[in-house]
């Protein structure tokens, strides 16, 4: 019985989604791909979901410019509302596809890229959709400054181990690593929780974390 769908709830959910899309398009913090103009950005979070992690970072580092990036507008507007409530001026929310990231940012311009709790895509044939797949690593490399950093956190052990292999195979240098971020002595900034992270921590799961620097670009 609990699996039966209540059509009334379904309609309310759809309406709520449309309402969230409207909030996205009305927010001065939110941009569709065709509304975006290249601006100076220091930190990008890809697959940001609600973007609340970037909002928290933007609060702590007012001198840096942040972009929370995701394909889903209805999620991003949650962070945009929070940023507006908190009068932040150093964060934007951009809706777009990860494989098109290079259209939005100048080459070798970003200080930091965060990949937070990306969908694990456990089936091998879907590996190309993982945000730590070499095709994405190449894009991140083209956008990060030479001394820039890539940060990755996840609850998915298989994805984490697979991703570590990709980083090393693609010539990224691992600088920090933890198999239990919140029980480590790593920076408290890294322990700022994303929406999914809060859920996983409440379930008692460890959070896997790595930071790395990009391979040198051949001159
Ligand atoms: C599991 S959620 C995690 C959200 C958020 N990072 C968090 O930790 O709460 C993964 C997010 O990645 C986004 N995503 C997946 N593939 C993407 C892609 N190729 N480009 C942009 N966003 C993507 C999804 O829309 C989703 O919001």
Give the active site residues.
119
* Residue 219 scores a pLDDT above 90: no
pLDDT one-digit tens code per residue, 5-42: 665 565 566 677 777 777 777 888 999 999 999 899 99
Nearest atom, ligand 1, residue 116 CA? 6
49 lines ligand 1 (CB under 6 A): yes
pLDDT of residue 217: 78
Q: Which residue among 21, 31, 43, 47 has the greatest number of ligand 1 atoms within 8 angstroms of its CB, and so is best to mutate?
A: 47
Q: What is the mean pLDDT of residues 169-180?
A: 98
97 lines ligand 1 (CB under 6 A): yes
Nearest atom, ligand 1, residue 99 CA? 19
C-alpha dist (Å) from residue 190 to 23, 91, 196: 29, 18, 14
pLDDT one-digit tens code per residue, 123-160: 999 999 999 999 999 999 999 999 999 999 999 999 99
pLDDT of residue 1: 44
* Residue 2 scores a pLDDT above 60: no
What sign for the dihedral angle of Cα 117, 118, 122, 128? negative
> pTM for the full model?
0.92
DSSP bridge pairs for 31: 94
* CA of residue 187 to ligand 1 center, whole Å: 24
């Amino acid at each position: 019985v609990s699996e039966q769908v209540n059509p009334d709830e379904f309609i309310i959910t759809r309406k709520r989604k449309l309402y969230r899309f409207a909030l996205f398009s009305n927010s001065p913090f939110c941009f569709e791909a065709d509304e975006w103009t290249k601006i100076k950005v220091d930190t990008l979070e890809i697959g940001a979901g609600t973007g609340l992690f970037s909002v928290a970072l933007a609060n702590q580092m007012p001198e840096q410019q942040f972009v929370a990036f995701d394909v889903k507008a209805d999620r991003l507007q949650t962070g945009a509302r929070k940023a507006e409530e908190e009068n932040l001026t150093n964060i934007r929310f951009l809706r777009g596809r990860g494989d098109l990231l290079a259209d939005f940012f100048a080459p070798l311009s970003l200080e930091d890229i965060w990949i937070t709790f990306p969908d694990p895509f456990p089936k091998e044939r879907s590996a190309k959709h993982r945000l730590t797949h070499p095709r994405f690593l190449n894009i991140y490399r083209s956008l990060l400054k030479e001394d820039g950093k890539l940060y990755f956190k996840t609850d998915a052990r298989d994805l984490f181990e697979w991703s570590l292999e990709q980083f090393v195979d693609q010539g990224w240098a691992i600088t920090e690593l933890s198999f239990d971020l919140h029980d480590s002595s790593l920076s408290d900034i890294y322990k700022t929780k994303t929406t999914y992270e809060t859920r996983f921590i409440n379930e008692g799961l460890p959070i896997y974390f790595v930071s790395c620097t990009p391979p040198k670009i051949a001159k």
